[in-house]
Amino acid sequence: GGDTKILRSDIPHQPMGIIAVANDTNSCELSPCALLNGGCHDLCLLTPNGRVNCSCRGDRILLEDNRCVTKNSSCNIYSEFECGNGECIDYQLTCDGIPHCKDKSDEKLLYCENRSCRRGFKPCYNRRCIPHGKLCDGENDCGDNSDELDCKVST
């Protein structure tokens, strides 16, 4: 075409390919998906404006805590956690330092480090989640006693 720009004309051999390099391209290390998979349990994708968009592989569905479960799971999505092998455990047993799933998926760093507690649960300082009903009940349900802090004492 007519809009050509000669970059170099003194090449002794015909080039076999051209590589374009730019200093202003996005670095993969700066991607929010590079750190703990962006908080996603399965796939971490980016929106056109660079925000994390979690997704699931195959026939699984995405829950509000960015966890993927099978569509016909027998686990209660509000009170139970679906292990990677399909078994169900009580949600508040997750991220307590003790593997309750046979595949240890309830203690995976990618899940525990980045999760938000589900609706109806409160986060503890140690990243565990306990039901709201267990706050300020006089028992150390979190394991770090953070569920018993800032409680109003009635006299």
Structure confidence by residue, pLDDT tens digits, 63-101:
887 888 888 889 998 899 999 888 999 999 999 999 999
Query: CA 117 → CA 61, 66, 96, 108, 147, distances in Å?
Result: 18, 11, 13, 15, 14
Distance CA(10)–CA(12), nearest Å, equals 6
% of the chain exceeding 90 in pLDDT: 45
Q: What is the model's pLDDT at position 6?
A: 76
What confidence category does residue 24 fall into, taking pLDDT thresholds of 50, 70 and 90? low
Residue 1: the pLDDT is: 61
